Structure 1
Amino acid sequence: MKELLIKNRNFASLFFGRLVTNMGDSIYYVAAMWLVYELGGSAFYTGLAGFLTLIPGTLQFLVGPLVDRWQIQKMLVRTQIIQAILVMLIPLAHFMGYLTVSFILIIMPIISALNQFTYPGQAAILPRIVKKDQLVKSNSLFSFAFQGVDLAFNALAGILITLVGAITLYMVDVVTFIAAAILFSFLKVKSETKSKEKQTVGVALAEYKKDLIEGFTIVFKSHLAKFLLGSIVANFAIGSIYAILPAFADHRGGSELYGLYLAAISGGALIGALGASWLERYPLGKLTIVLFFLGGTTWMISGFIPMNSLSILLFGLSWIPIGATNVIIGAALQSIVPQHLLGRIFSVTSSLGAMAMPFGSLIGGYLAGIFTSTSVYIGSAGGILFISLVWILNKTLRSLPHTSKLNPEEVGLADESVTTLS
């Protein structure tokens, strides 16, 4: 990993840019959700905020063809600058006396929409700047950038909200997004798309539509679609937990606990990501079944335990399977999917997998008002257990070998129509 950061300047620019922008994302999310909870006064508003923030993720498939055709470095820089401008509007509205919960609910989904370019952009550019045998290590390192920063800054943001207030944290966000834009500007990657003559709007839209259809066709003609069933139910549960967590933490102690529960999510996912290189030696099918069964069980138990420290610890452990399998499956797909299709494949699978999250957030917030946030918290563990059940019942999934032996045939990507698409 040290070799990647020291000798590969493109990787270092992408990695540190992602590290800094994740700092901004973590601080922004905690500040925004807590501010919505304070201004709205109930879990319904945090559920609505979660719904609006997660909705753009379901449309990430629209980004895929653009990522495959645009210059990724310029795209990353511009999205960071626009996010900095949007975040700055919230402190300005506060100082001018115009800040309302409605204003924040408008800004949040716009910022979230801009974030949809980052992940498929990173997924598409990474195979161009590292060797094939470095992909698992590279993805582990990026998961560290994502989850490690979340671990530190989610907990820190929860404490800082109490000390300095959410508005001050928004001003810090502006700096992080500008810094990330500067780091991304150092990327020097040759585009793999062929240079083309200037196109009319009609021709450009026709090609975009063609690329979009190809992305969905590849996913549904392969076994990748089978991965999505459990993912949809799990993401519904994850959406609900993010919505009710402010109320759940407030019931148990306050904003400090909210930050700590969010940090537990990041910590568990980080441990899983860092352990992915070790776990990838086991058959992917059996590994997924065991990990998600243990994860769902510890999540459920954490909701019943009155001791906050132990509850947070068990909740964090339940996120280890998510962090590990995200890295292992992501790296496997990067190694077997043709590079010119990566943006489309990753954006389509991400969109379909995330489709249930905003509805989970909205319904979770609503149910917390009818029952309790604790009931929704415990019930959400069923979504993690469902993944284990799906993989047990599906022969293709439970029979998947370890990733070093995984090939296009194993996931139904060996069809000639898939490998020759351009």
Structure 2
Amino acid sequence: MYVPFRDNVLFRNANLRRLVFGRLVTNAGDSVYAIAAMWLVYDLTGSSAYTGLAGLLTMGPQALQVFIGPLVDHWPLRRILVSTQAVQAVLVLVIPLASYLDALSVWVVLTVMPLVSFLNQFVYPAQNAALPRIVDQEDLVSANSLLSLAYQGVDMAFNALAGVLVAAVGAVTLYLLDSVSFAVAAALFIGLRVPKTSESAGGEAEKDAEPGDDPTTTAAAVVTDGGDDADGSATADVDEDSSYLADLRAGLSFVRGTILLPLLVTSVVANGTLGGVWATMPAFADARGGPEAYGVLMAAVAGGLLVGALVASWFEEWPLGRLTVALYAFSGSLWLAAVASSSLVGTAGLLALALVPVGISNVIVVTMFQTMVPDDLLGRVMATIGSISTVAMPLGSAAGGLLADATSASYVVAGGGLGLLFVAVYVVAIPSLRRLPRADELETLRRTPTE
């Protein structure tokens, strides 16, 4: 199997090692936390409506990434990563403390979950913005695969482990493990050094933005940095004429009028249906064996995404339009077959296979964004993309939970397969997406007037 250590990029680049291992540790805790939190809500209430509400509150902050992007582009990235991990380490301790004081209720859990999720919205745009600054462009696919490996690989192992641990020691105890993982990740991120973007490859400072410059085409439209000096301090001050609102508009303006906008429609629909899936998965798994089954199914999801990330490099030469159609048609069909299977092994195996194409697509598309978007707009643009693509997920979670209580969790989970099939049909129907060439052949993200 392909392993994304092209030319030993992980061993050549100390900053990449810190970023990857920091993500690996924090995602180990996140995986345990995600399983423990959703199962704890279901265990306390026995209702998919409450797990749907938990999904709404947890995924809702993802829609706020668009407002966080300008902050990510201006604040030192290392400071963002360290501080968010430290605060989360303290927050998750509220659950075991409440349990110890005999004050634990579903509302305590539903209060902590969105706060932890909100802090995570700073982490992923910061990591995505840091990556193209700390690796060479030719290593981006390999580096993104490594981050996906750290994310999905840990998920696969710890999702399954969390299900077993929930059954063995209870969900509350796992919050203690999560707190430790956040603290360790903060320690790893302390050593990260992110080069500033205000210097060009030749070492000269980029020109300041002139009045009337188009922020969608000028990398220096807003003089930003987000990098660190060797001592970790911020390296550039924000231009006094720039403002938070101007930065926010810059990110939105870049997305508008590019192929990103119609591409994001697919994410909105697919994520809306998948939001319902995550909300009803505890009930779906409970009918197949309880918390252990929940861990197995969530491990299957992570495993499929992991394999997809590992083999993504094999598909770099495929035209993006045709590749997307093939991947999502295959994925949606396997997903529906997984729901129809009567055995846990069959469901888990087919679900894992269904997520492989999604893992491939995730790496290829993120690499395209990082390649085509100017570095000093990357935090804002990635945050905007994250907000738009996930806006339907919390709503889908709430609706899915209510629908599962009224009908069956299996019907809602099957909707995830329909959402994936929609992506394939939609891309076929939109010429600007269907005709997308290979990522390295894209000269611009802008659509032509005829598209």
TM range (shorter): over 0.9
The 8 Å contact of residues 277 and 415 in structure 2, kept in 1 or not, is answered as no
Report the CA distance between 1:406 and its aligned residue: 2.0
Does the residue aligned with 1:319 lie in a helix, a strand or coil? helix
| Aligned: 1:361 with 2:397 | yes
Contact preservation (8 Å) 1:242, 1:361: yes
- Structure 1 residue 290: deviation in Å? 0.8
Give me the whole-angstrom Cα distance separating, in 2, the residues matched to 1:288 and 1:190. 34
Structure-2 separation of matches of 1:403 and 1:210: 29
Residue number in structure 1 paired with 2:344: 308
Q: Is residue 4–residue 12 contact of structure 1 (8 Å, CA) maintained in 2?
A: no
Distance in 1 (CA, whole Å) between partners of 2:370 and 2:127 is 11
Look up the match of 1:11: 16
TM-score when normalising by structure 1: 0.94
Structure 2 unaligned residues grouped into runs of 5+: 198-223, 226-234
* Higher fraction of helix: 1
Q: Describe the shift of the 1:389–1:414 C-alpha distance in structure 2 as closer, same or farther (beyond 3 A).
A: closer
Give the drift of 1:237.
1.1
- What SS does the corresponding residue of 2:287 show, helix, strand or coil? helix
From 161, 167, 180, give the equivalent of 1:156.
161
Q: What do the CA deviations read for 1:350-398 (whole angstroms, capped 9, x no partner)?
A: 1000000001100000000110101111123110000001100011101
| Counterpart AA for 2:350 | L
d(CA) in 2 for partners of 1:198, 1:112:
28
Q: Runs ≥4 in structure 1, deviation > 4 angstroms?
A: 194-199
Compute the displacement of 1:404 (Å): 2.2
Matched AA of 1:132 = Q
Matched residue SS, 1:221: coil
In the alignment, the residues of structure 1 paired with residue 352 and residue 96 of structure 2 have an alpha-carbon distance, to the nearest angstrom, of 32
1:186 aligns with 2:191: yes
Q: 2:246 aligns with which of 192, 207, 210?
A: 210
Equivalent residue for 1:165, pick from 166, 170, 176: 170
Displacement of 1:302 in angstroms is: 1.0
Tell me if the contact between 1:71 and 1:191 (Cα under 8 Å) persists in the aligned partners: no
* Paired positions, count: 409
Preserved contact between residue 153 and residue 302 of structure 2 (Cα < 8 Å): yes
SS of 1:400 mapped into structure 2: coil
Which of 257, 262, 268 is the equivalent residue of 1:226? 262
Change (3 A) 1:240 1:167: same
Query: How far is the alpha carbon of 1:197 from its aligned partner?
Result: 6.0
CA distance in 2, matches of 1:25, 1:88: 14
Q: Tell me the CA shift for residue 413 of structure 1.
A: 8.0
Pick the aligned partner of 2:70 from 65, 73, 79.
65
Deviations 1:21-58 (A, max 9, x none): 10111000100000000111111111100110000001
Give the Cα–Cα distance (whole angstroms) in 2 for the partners of residues 198 and 150 of structure 1: 38
Percent identity over the alignment?
A: 45
TM-score after normalising by structure 2: 0.88
Q: Which residue type is aligned with residue 310 of structure 1?
A: G
Residue in 2 that maps onto 1:134:
139
Letter in 2 for 1:299: W
* Counterpart residue number, 2:61: 56
Deviations 1:91-149 (A, max 9, x none): 00100111100010011000000000111101111111100000000001100111000
Unaligned runs of 5+ in 1: 416-422
- Over the aligned positions, Cα root-mean-square deviation in angstroms equals 1.6
182, 199, 211: which one pairs with 1:177? Answer: 182
Q: 1:248 to 1:236 in 2, by over 3 A?
A: same
Does residue 325 (structure 1) correspond to residue 361 (structure 2)? The answer is yes
Q: Distance in 1 between matches of 2:298 and 2:93?
A: 24
- 2:296 corresponds, among 260, 263, 286, to 260
Match of 1:93 among 74, 98, 108: 98
1:140-161 CA deviation, whole Å, 9 max, x = no partner?
1100111000000000000111
Q: What does residue 412 of structure 1 align with?
A: 446
Tell me, in whole angstroms, the C-alpha distance in 2 between the residues paired with 1:196 and 1:272.
38
Change (3 A) 1:270 1:393: same
